[in-house]
Structure formats: structure tokens, C-alpha cells
A and B are shown apart, each in its own frame.
Chain A
Amino acid sequence: MSLFDFFEWLGNTPWSIGLHESRYAFLVVLTVHVLTLTVFVGTAVVVDLRLLGAMLTRVPASEVLSRLLPLSGAGLAVMLASGALLFYAAPLVRYQNVFFRFKMAALALAMANAWVFHRTAYRHVAVWDRDPVPPRGVRLAAAVSLALWASIITAGRMMAYQDYWFN
């Protein structure tokens, strides 16, 4: 069974059709997905700006991360859950959307970037914790992170325009 077949089957399950054709449920999920951006990307931006040395430079980096990342994580969980429901509402349409594919790739890169950062530079945070401007490697990771979140937002917004532009 190919992914295509699987998503075709998924899109014909009663709950998928129900969500797709609902009067309000889909729009509620979409609203939750978009507005959680303020919590999730909002806190991630503050963390990245601290790591770039552009915000809260008098606060130790580890304090900014440890106090804000739990909130980021909660926001991410809501984003992933609501995003999964938006996908479930029209699996084939999403799967065949070029911006959706780009968004998933950028999301994977953003996660990998965060993971590598925590495994490498953040292990030695004690060394640069109080530096107003952290070392170059840290700033690079933060800049990559910001660029990836921006592309994820962009791709998400452009998903609505695939039909209009290409079909």
C-alpha cells in the first residue's frame, strides 16, 4: 500500500469526512492552530533572540531557556495536535500540496537544529551563560532556527494558495 493509497483511505474514514464537511469544527481547529503560533513561535522567538544577543541580554541564557521552553513545548504540542487534525480532515489534499511538503521538511530541520543545539553548544552553557552575546555557533543555531520558523509560517500560509497559483 502506497502513501497515496493510505491517505486516500484515511480521507474516506467517517471522522475525516465529518471534520472536512463540518460547519464549525474545522474552523475552530484552524483558529486554534493559527493562534497558538503566538505562544509557540512567540516564545521560540524570544529564546532565539536571547541566543542571538538581541534581547534580555542581562538574563542568563539558561534561565530564558528553562523558563520559556516548557511553554514553547506546550504550544508545540497544541500545534502538532491541531495540525494533525487539519491534515486528517483532507489527507490527500495536504499530501499533494507542495507547500505542505516544504513545511514538513522545514519542521524536521527545525527539530533537528534544536536537538543538535541541545546536544552540543547547550551542554557547555555554563561557559557562555552570562555572555550578553553568546558565541558564534550558538548565534548561528538561533539564526537558523528563526529562519526555519519564518519559512514554516510562510509555507503554512501559502498552502491555501496552491490551487489558485498552480491549477
Chain B
Amino acid sequence: MSLLELCRWIQYSPLLVEMRASPWLFPVIATVHLFGLAVIGGAVLLVDLRLLGLGIRGQPAAYLVRDAERWLIRGLMIAIPTGVLLFMCFATKYYYLTFFWVKLAALVVVLLFTFSIRHRVALAADQDGGRGRQRMVAMVSLALWTTVAMGGRYIGFP
């Protein structure tokens, strides 16, 4: 079974046909997806601002990072399941959109980056030195998340 066939199978499975028949289910899921976006935005900014020397700086970085990452995971737990449902509604449309694959790739990369390199660098942000590296990590994180968000906006256009 090719990827396209899989997309077609998902999109035309009885459950998804049923879901698309509802006039309000897709808009409601898309709205909840945006709630996730807001929570992710706040959690990502807290740490990236700190790495840039801005935002909340009065506490140990490790405390800020742990709390922000806990909320980042909560945001992801809202955005990813709703995102999967949105994809399943029109799987074959997204299959053909380059930007969908760009978004997906950027998301995988930013998640790996966030919970490995960024996590380590942010936890050590209180130690002297490495300012340049911290800035670089923050900018890479912001650039990747922007790509994910713009990809998301772009694939929604008719």
C-alpha cells in the first residue's frame, strides 16, 4: 500500500466520512488546535527569551525550563491529536502539498532539537560563558517553530 493509498483509505474510512458530514466538527477541532498553538507559543517563548537574555531572569534557568517544558508538553498534547484529526479529514489534499511535508519535517526536527540540545543548553544557561551558543539555540528554535506555524497557516489556504 503506497502512502497515497493510505491517505485515501484514511480520508474515506467510515469514521472520517461521518466526521466530514458534520458542519461544525472540523471548525471546532481547528479551534482547539489553535488553543494548543497559544500554549506552545507561551512555553517556547519563555525559554527562548531567557536564552536571548530577555524575559524572566530572576530564577534559576533550570526551574524556568522545567516548568516551561511541562506546559510545552501539555500544549503539544492539545495540538498534535487535533492536528492528526485535521490531517485525516483531508489526507489526500495534504499529501500533495509540499508545505505540509515541510511543516511535518520542521516539527520533527524542532521536537528532537528542543528535548535534546535546547534542553541541555537551557539547563546550563546560568553558568558563565556560552552566551553565543545560547543565542544561537534560541534563534534556531524560534526559526523552526515559525516554519511549523507558517506551514500550518499555508496548508489551510484554499
Q: Is the interface of A mostly helix, strand, loop or mixed?
A: helix
Measured between C-beta atoms, what is the minimum distance from B153 to chain A in Å?
5
Q: Decide: A153 near B56, CB < 8 A? Known: A31-B153, A42-B39.
A: no
Partner of A35, one of B55, B63, B153, B157: B153
Partner of A45, one of B39, B54, B63, B67: B39
A157 to B23, Cβ gap below 8 A?
Answer: no
B35 close to A (CB within 8 Å): yes
Interface residues of B in 72-129 (CB under 8 A from A): none
A-B contact number at CB 8 A: 95
A41 to B27, Cβ gap below 8 A?
Answer: no
Q: Decide: A64 near B31, CB < 8 A? Known: A35-B149, A37-B38, A45-B38.
A: no
B153 to A68, Cβ gap below 8 A?
Answer: no
B19 close to A (CB within 8 Å): no
Q: Decide: A41 near B41, CB < 8 A? Known: A56-B64, A68-B55, A153-B35.
A: yes
A157 to B149, Cβ gap below 8 A?
Answer: no
Residues from chain A with a CB closer than 8 A to the CB of B138 are none
Q: Decide: A63 near B27, CB < 8 A? Known: A46-B46, A49-B71, A153-B38.
A: no
Complex Cα distance, B154 from A19, in Å, reads 19
A27 to B157, Cβ gap below 8 A?
Answer: yes
B61 close to A (CB within 8 Å): no
Interface residues of A in 44-89 (CB under 8 A from B): 44-46, 49, 55-56, 58-60, 63-64, 67-68, 71
Closest 5 CB pairs of A and B: A38-B41, A42-B41, A42-B42, A41-B38, A46-B42
